Amino acid sequence: MNTQAQNLLRWEQSGSPREWVDHRHGQWTHSDWEILLSTLQQSEFWPMELEAIGFLLEKLKNTAPAKESACPECGEPDPAEMARRGVEVTLFRVFATFACFRCNMQQKVDLTFIDKAEGVDVRCSCGAIAHIPPSVWCQTCGEGMSTGWQNRVSKKR
């Protein structure tokens, strides 16, 4: 087995391709594809044959388990629904995005850093500190950010 085939197998065994397909409900754009390739080219799994990557994703798409519909409160796991609620889904991370209360610059916080018990403080480059409270978590599924969560972000005193 050549290096490219071994890398593809390792990538498949990591579960990342399945997560990528499932997160998109088996639908993706050319832009999604380009972002995936760019990310893969900088990963431990590169190099791989582009055609083999596409074949694997199509295979997973056609065998993807049926997903339940998106959570009505937060949109989880549908990336488009989550984006409408200020949550950006990328290949390996999910970010909460909100505007700084002082300079209005967009802030991104990896959801894994927002403690469900304490929340998290976010420092903007302008020096302002915002607090994202734990109450932003979806009360329905507990996985995403509830509708209107940005309104709960407060100025840290």
Per-residue pLDDT reduced to its tens digit, 102-133: 999 999 999 888 999 999 999 999 999 999 99
SS3 65: coil
Joined tokens for residue 150: 């940005």
How far apart (Å, rounded) are the C-alpha atoms in residues 133 and 153?
7
Q: What is the mean pLDDT of the chain?
A: 88
User: Which residues, other chains included, contact 14 with Cβ-Cβ below 8 Å and sequence gap of 6+?
Assistant: 45
Full-prediction pTM beyond 0.95? Answer: no
Q: Would strands 129-132 and 120-123 be described as parallel, antiparallel, or unpaired? A: antiparallel
Name the band, by pLDDT with cuts 50, 70 and 90, for residue 61. Answer: confident
| % the chain with pLDDT above 70 | 96
DSSP code per residue over 6-54: HHHHHHHHHTHHHHHHHHTTT---HHHHHHHHHHHHTSTT----HHHHH
Joined tokens for residue 141: 């599924």
What is the pLDDT, as a whole number, of residue 33?
93
CB 130 within 8 A of CB 100: yes
Per-residue pLDDT reduced to its tens digit, 138-152: 988 888 888 889 999
